[in-house]
Amino acid sequence: MDLITLGETMALFTPSSEGYLRYASQFSRSFAGAETNVAIGVSRFGFKTGWISKVGKDEFGQALLRFLRGEQIDVSQVKKDEEYPTGLMFKEYLRDNKLRVFYYRKESAASRLVPKDIDETYIKRAKYLFLSGITPALSDSCYETVKRTVEVARNEGTAIIFDPNLRRKLWTEDKARRILTELSGLADIVLPGVAEGEFLFGTSDVREIGESFLELGADMAVVKLGAKGAHYFTGSEHALVPGFKVERVIDPIGAGDAFAAGLITGFIENLTLKDAVNRANGFGAMVTLVKGDVEGLPERIELEQFISKASLEDVQR
């Protein structure tokens, strides 16, 4: 298995019209969750991925599993909960490209994950484990589950990639800071944004953020700057890899997950760090061009064409 992820994915409802959600009467239904977004992005490059979670024993859970199987994601480690439902989320597209997201995930099936839900032999099979800071915020049992998964991965030499993915509404700032700092220090690779670095370390200076994650214990930190690209830091290297110009952002939600997916495919293929981050920037840019978290995740030929075109335009300028 090239990549395993663990976390919650929800049924996503998007209105067919723009404006306040209160006026929407027709919706399209898809699915979204940081960990499955990443898994799908990696799977589309032909790599083997798996997802660990819980869904409700309901129609949304059934549809989600069917959807992920269609994306070639292994869902053998997903349990169906008899009592708690699959979570829901809604997007709202307002004027001037303003977008809001509403979550209905309290007491969801995924929030009931416990350490005994983890098959340790499954974790041992993976080259990479991707986690986000969303999962430990869902409940104390989810936090304990993440901790146990990290412990198994570290013991077996599975590389841990952690995106802090701060969600302030899910927990108190003190608890978020403590747990995100702890998990960042246990990860091999950390993928923060500047806002998350500032939350954890009290600085918006990119170099200070990157170096602070290394001091916690990570081997590598990649600090995302959105359209401007990303800085990568290791014990011996630091560089900025510029982003790609996008004429019009349709939907920025999921760009960070796409970035992680692109980066992981680069790691699996043993690209140079610079080339892996460049690919990650391409993934992040492309996913913003359409509505939806995963609809814009590229296949290999599309990504290569996008990067080649952007490079040619840079030369011609």
Size (the chain), residues: 317
Residue 137: partners with Cβ closer than 8 Å, 6 or more residues away: 143, 167, 170, 171, 176, 179
Q: Terminus-to-terminus CA distance in the chain, angstroms? A: 43
- Encode 10-36: b = buried (16+ Cβ within 10 Å), e = exposed: bbbbbbeeeeebeebeeeeebbbbbbb
Residue 102: partners with Cβ closer than 8 Å, 6 or more residues away: 21, 89, 90, 91, 92
Are the beta carbons of 78 and 51 closer than 8 angstroms? yes
Beta bridge partners of residue 27, listed in sequence order? 15
Distance, in Å, from the CA atom of 246 to the CA atom of 27, rounded to the nearest integer, reads: 27
Beta bridge partners of residue 189, listed in sequence order? 161, 220
Interior CA angle at 258 toward 213 and 115, to 5°?
Answer: 65
Backbone angles phi, psi at 97, to 5 degrees: 60, 15
Quick check: is 163 catalytic?
Answer: no
| Coil, strand or helix at 300 | helix
In one letter, which amino acid is 109?
A: A
Which is catalytic among the residues 2, 81, 117, 257? 257
Distance, in Å, from the CA atom of 304 to the CA atom of 271, rounded to the nearest integer, reads: 14
Residue numbers annotated as active site: 257
